[in-house]
Amino acid sequence: MDSARLAKLNKHLHAIVHGNVAITLQNSNLFIEAIVAQQDRPACCNKLVASKCGLDAVQAAMRHNLTPAFFNYRAPSLLLYFQESSLKDIAGGHLLNAIVMKIVDPPIFWDEFRLSYSKGLLVNDAQVCFAWLLHHLISLPASVSTTYRDQAPAVLSALLASSEVIVRTLGQKIKHILATCSTVVPTNVQDGPGGRHDNDFTDFRDIAILPTSDEVLSTDPPFLRPSAVLDDPSTESSRLAIHLDNQFRLLREDMLFEMREELQIAFGKKKGYHRGLVLDGLTAQDIHCGPENRRTKWGFTLCCTEDIPQLSSAKDRKKFLNENRNKFLRHQSLVCLIADDDILAFPTINRDEELLARKPAVVVLQLEGEASTSRVFLKLKTAKQIKLIQIDTAVFSYAPVLNALQQITSMPLSSDLLLWKKDNIIQEATPQARLESVVQALRQNPRSDLKDLLGTSKSIELDHSQAACLLSGLTAKLSLIQGPPGRLSQKAPCSYFVAELCPSV
């Protein structure tokens, strides 16, 4: 592209994203061309997201013209531009997600684009873009991807039967995500998941990490599958989904068991020592969002009517709070909020030392979930007695893993870990280029001296077991090295040797 044309496109792009020129049917194609002409894709995407009119202009440009001609030419050029692999890694994918969601929501463009694919009206590049866009959409968190996951099965057969290798590959990935994210209802529905309380759902992704009061008070046993379910041949098609569901429910039940035990001790229903703090006679005060120069996630404040004993005996309240950050009202620790002897919720503490140092102290709590928040505020408005019981359960160690399990959309090694059968052969992986000579040497002669190949100062000669172990670690897609099977001449285990040679394996 000549410099004069590029300068014109840059000027047009700048004018539209800053609101100086309105996006219209006549200039929308030029706007798309101007985006695609930008060499620095991350910078261009950041400009679209950060500017006043960038995302709105992209949305308008993609829905002004909904003809097959647009879907086969202009639309693919923009979607191909956004398929740069580096874009999905910037800011955890939020930059690319913001652009994609602006294009498909509301689904004016998406519905017509999907319909054109179903009717076979798209050419090869457009088909690739459709498959990429669908794969991206169903890979998003369940809160926004449910609609697209419901639509995917209708076009999956066509994707898998495509003449384009890229489309078929994306189709396989879509199939894998649908299998991983499917909801599996047990045959015995009466004892299956859902319906025990207000936080029991068939789909584990709908379950709130922190429990509700109804859940803690429920006497019904939780839904947990026995391990034999994963070995049942009839569950093979849904084994990925079952495995994720099971891992989530088992881990979360570990967390809840500790919480229930703490509460039983605190309420005197079980003998034992309650390690957490108990604050009684609190009054609801205000909404809290942090100071003006350091905003935090919103919460609400409870004021103590009597001073906290640990603080009242301290000569310097701020010094005491600073020295006992992990012992006294620890940040993000869990508490049980009780009003008039009724368990309301399980919020977390936002440790604001300025408020805690006041006389009397002020405690900041943060809630999760709309239903829990509504119930708490309605009850606090009329409550006569408000009480807090600190629960010494390490929720902070459970929550990230539980959240990650809910967000998983694919399991790369599932075919070898969960779906492997006795006669299956583990697929080979291409070793790193610098290790290819090592692999070839060991295949020709397991007793080869690897000194020159690895550039070591000492001789390295392996026996047959060690060589087989090393070859498996370097060439197999998945390998298990136990033992280790003997020692290398440098007194290092073979598993350590593989890790040093190929840390990405």
**What's residue 484's pLDDT?**
55
Q: Of 347, 363, 365, 367, which is closest to residue 355 (Cα–Cα)?
A: 363
**What's residue 131's pLDDT?**
96
User: What is d(CA 246, CA 311) in angstroms, rounded to the nearest whole number?
Assistant: 44
Rg (CA), the chain: 29
110-to-62, 88, 115, 370, 449 alpha-carbon distances in Å: 9, 20, 8, 30, 60
**What's residue 80's pLDDT?**
94
Longest dimension (CA), the chain: 83
H-assigned helices in 267-417: 309-312, 317-323, 353-356, 370-382, 395-407, 414-417
**What's residue 116's pLDDT?**
95
Read off the pTM: 0.68
Residues with Cβ within 8 Å of 405's Cβ and at least 6 positions away in sequence, in order, are: 204, 244, 247, 248, 251
**What's residue 489's pLDDT?**
43
**What's residue 181's pLDDT?**
83
Buried b (16+ CB within 10 A) or exposed e, 71-97: bbebbbebbebbeeeebbeeeeeebbb
Residues of the chain with confidence (pLDDT) below 70? 1, 184-191, 274-275, 371, 430-434, 483-505
**What's residue 330's pLDDT?**
86
Interhelix angle 94-104/124-138, nearest 10 degrees? 110
**What's residue 248's pLDDT?**
93
Q: E strand or H helix at 121, and its extent?
A: none
**What's residue 112's pLDDT?**
96
**What's residue 274's pLDDT?**
67
For residue 360, give the DSSP letter: S
